[in-house]
Chain A
Amino acid sequence: IATFLGRKLQPRPQNEVEETLKRIQGQKGVQGIIIVNAEGIPIKTTLDNSSTVQYAGLIHQLVMKARSTVRDIDPQNDLTFLRVRSKKNEIMIAPDKDYFLIVIQNPSD
């Protein structure tokens, strides 16, 4: 009975993540969401594979650089959010110890 219940409850955590991602994805102008782990390997994405891989690799480097910059200036400080605004869209990155979440939005829609 215990294992039966265990199996029943298991999908919930995944659903919560899914729900949150769906909520973000549903906002106006959001083009894609990527979850990347600390090494830059994409875990979950709504874009195609080649774009995902490209974004993951490039943004990972950028976030490392940005974070080290912030911490060099003040070691007690840490990077919480990075927004890169370009002509066509805006890339938002939230870094964490183990993961980061990348959202691409087109704000002028």
Chain B
Amino acid sequence: LVSIQEKLPSLFTKRLQREYCCALVLYTWRHPNDILPLTLTSATQELFGCRCDEDVTGDNPYKILRKEDIVQDMRMRAAVSDFSPMKQLVLDYPEDELLLVYDRDFIYGSSFYLVLTADAKERHLKPVVALGVEVALEREPSEVFATQKTSEPQPWISLGSEQEIEEESVTDSRPRYRISRVRREFGAPIFFSDRNAMETKDGFIECTPYQDKNFSLKQMERHTGVQTIPNLKSSSTQTQWTYPRSMCTQYEPREFSEEKKENCLQSEKLKNFVNSVASRFEMAIQQNEIMDVFFDDWKALSEEDSGYGRKADPHLKEYQSFTDLHFSKEKTISNINWHPTINGVIAVAVTERLSFEDRINGSTKLLLNPSLILFWSFSDPINPQLLLECPDDVFSFEFCPSDPNIIVGGCMNGQVVLWDISTHVEQLQGTRTSDKRENETPVVRYCAVSGIENGHKAPITDIQWLPGTFEVSRMGVPMENKNGICVQIVTCAPDCCVMFWDIRAPRVLQTMADQRKQKVEEKPLENPHGVPNTFKHLDLTWKPLIRLQLVLSTTFCPQDGELVYTDWKLEKDNDSGRLFSAKPSHRFIIHDGQVNTVRRSPFFKDIILTVGGWTFAIWKEGVTNGPIIQSSCSQKKCTVGYWSQSRPAVLFIGKEDGNIDVWDLLEKTHEPSQTQNITATQITCIKPWIVSSKQHLLAVSDHLGTLMYSILPSVKYFEKEVDRLVYFEKRREMRAKEKKDYEAEELRKKTVRYSI
């Protein structure tokens, strides 16, 4: 735009200038084709006499230039000339004079513009005035070059719209063809004929169809769904039916022949192989030699431990058992006693294994079968050495402590029986002369028996000799026995009586003054059975010295487990003068069944063991609250109990299933230290015996009438304890040492770790 403005000549008048500015406004965005804006330098302006604002002004912007002048200028100044860019246009100009217009307002962008066509020149020089005013009024005021000029008709500038019209119009697109005939043929008839197209060459133009490759499309993509199914294949087969058939194969391992073996042994390969593997073997073998890695130290440790005193006691080894088919068949042993002086002799009381009803029913038969006490010797397990005849089944008997030839027994009918076996002592001692080899066992009859009316009304369950150091007077006061021998016996029975018997002749007792003496009459007796006359004075007339009647329905060893502790002093009732016993001082119901054993401990005089029902209890005299130890209920009934003679805290409990429980109260109190099954049936009696310091025997009898004795392991308690202590000392030292080693190791490890 600036260049257009520059090129506008200043020849025209103001009015014309305004007009052309108006026209220019219409064309501000581009200059028309027939003018060309150009810039003239001041030198060129002087040369052509078109200096700005001097030769050409706003009012008079037109300047006619001669074509030759321009051409000469171009020739003279060549590229430098201002007209050089339009050189061709100038040369093509048809006329001789060109119009240069001063564009003072830079409408076309330059200070001058050159009119290129004659028509435009004419138009410029002869402006259209009429239209100008109206056009100026219609113009929008917002345009950049807003002027109020009327527009003049301008040549139509084709913008391409006539092309559409031309397309629609029908015009000749080719020259018309002329067909001519000679004159004479005008109006003559025309004859058409056929001609085959194929006859002549190029008679027809064929347009054969062909497959245009452009239209054959290969579908490269297709949208389709796919579903997979397992591969199914049907096929059939025919099996061959085979049936099983018995067949056998014999095989033997393949072996090489000797030469083959030799060959192999001598081969190089074998040599290399053996050399290469030998080291592995040596290492492995040495490993095994050094240490057995699979050795279970833990298990081995426990075995070591148990060897030291847990169950150190080996089981009771049954030494010998005694059964007599003849005398003890179908009988049970009720009591055992070791002979106090003769080693290896045991006496057993054999009783019938019958219940009360059976006894009554078979009473006649019983009378024919006498009850016996058998003496067994270790040397002869089959035949008893001696038989003691009893009037009735003996439930308890005892050797006299001061004179072992005297035996007292308590019968089932309440009688007290005495035997004297002094004549047979040598036999028992084993000093039998060879010619006196008897096939049958000697029988000793009882030499004294108490009167039935004087004795108990119930079977005597226990009988004891009073120690030889004291005796009891008629009043129940213990006195010193000046004789030094045992003269008194105590018996008890379930008839709630405890009786004291004296075996001396009644004349000794007559010296005592009493209101109601119980006289023991002396009666000389015949001696029909060769029984010694030792106690003739007592026979059949023996009466108890003191009779204690307990108020309760039970006695010391009651039926239903009641334990009674009483004092046996008789008291005199002042009113009737009768003697009666004091009321029992304590009674305890501890055991759930019949109390079958009451025993003092051989080591502690005030410790008593009671066994009954399913439990046993240990009592201390003076402690009246109850037992100091009571065992837990065992599975089976306890039938008998006995203190061990050698070890203070050991007791033996016999059970009804034939087991013996050895209780070591210093070791454990909740269960027996050892249980051993001795026999299949109920154990009826246990009696330990100390033969010597080395040999402790235990005699056990069972319900079937078998007696057996076994050797108790002679484990000396204190020695064992000393051993145990020594062992523990050693262990403690070892452990301390191990601990020290371990700590040292730990410390070393730590330092190593820290040093790293």
> Are A37 and B264 also in contact (CB < 8 A) when A24-B282, A56-B253, A94-B277 are?
yes
Does B280 contact A17, Cβ atoms closer than 8 Å? no
Tell me, yes or no, whether A27 is within 8 Å of chain B by CB: yes
Measured as residues with beta carbon below 8 angstroms from the partner, the interface class of chain B is 20 to 34
Answer whether residue B437 sits at the interface, using C-beta atoms and an 8 A cutoff: no
B280 near A80: Cβ-Cβ < 8 Å: yes
What's the minimum C-beta distance from A57 to chain B, rounded to whole angstroms? Answer: 6
Q: Give the Cβ gap from B250 to chain A, nearest Cβ, in Å.
A: 15
CA distance A35 to B288 in the complex (A): 21
Residues of B within 8 A of A53 (CB): 253, 255
Q: Is the C-beta of B273 less than 8 angstroms from some C-beta in chain A? A: yes
Taking A20-B274, A43-B256 as known contacts, 17 extra A-B pairs with beta carbons closer than 8 A to each other, sorted by chain A number, are A10-B266, A16-B275, A23-B282, A24-B278, A24-B281, A24-B285, A35-B270, A43-B264, A43-B270, A53-B255, A56-B253, A57-B253, A85-B294, A99-B270, A101-B274, A105-B285, A105-B288
In the A-B complex, list the 6 residue pairs whose CB atoms are closest, starting with the nearest: A107-B288, A94-B277, A53-B253, A27-B285, A20-B278, A43-B264
Give the size range of A's interface with the partner: 35 or more
A109–B74 CA distance with the chains assembled, in angstroms = 133
Enumerate A59-104 residues with CB–CB distance to B below 8 Å: 80-81, 83, 85, 90, 92, 94, 96, 98-99, 101, 103
Please provide the chain A residues from 40 to 56 with a CB less than 8 Å away from any CB of chain B in the complex. Answer: 40-44, 53, 56
Cβ contacts under 8 Å, A85 to chain B? 294
B284 within 8 A of A: yes
Pairwise interchain contact B253-A94, C-beta atoms closer than 8 A: no
Q: Which of B255, B256, B278 contacts A23 (CB 8 A)?
A: B278
Best-buried of A29, A80, A94, A105 by chain B (most CB within 10 Å): A94
Contact call A103/B281, Cβ cutoff below 8 A: yes
Residues of B in contact with A (beta carbons under 8 Å apart) = 253-256, 261, 264-266, 268-271, 273-278, 280-282, 284-286, 288-289, 292, 294-295
Cβ-based interface call for A108 (8 A): yes
Q: Is A17 in contact with B271, judged by CB distance below 8 angstroms?
A: yes
CB contacts (< 8 Å) of B282 on chain A: these are: 23-24, 27
Interface contacts (Cβ under 8 Å), in number, total 91
Main secondary structure of the interface of B (DSSP, over half): helix
- Contact at A96–B253, with CB atoms within 8 Å? no
**Which residues of A are found within 8 Å of B284, using beta-carbon distances?**
81, 83, 92
Residue of B nearest to A85 (CB): B294
Query: Is A43's CB under 8 angstroms from B278's CB?
Result: no
Which residue of A44, A80, A98 contacts B269 across the interface (Cβ within 8 Å)?
A98
- Min CB distance A75 to B, Å, is 22
Complexed CA–CA distance, A17 and B256 (Å): 19
A94 touches B289 (CB 8 A): no
Q: B254 to A41, Cβ gap below 8 A? A: yes
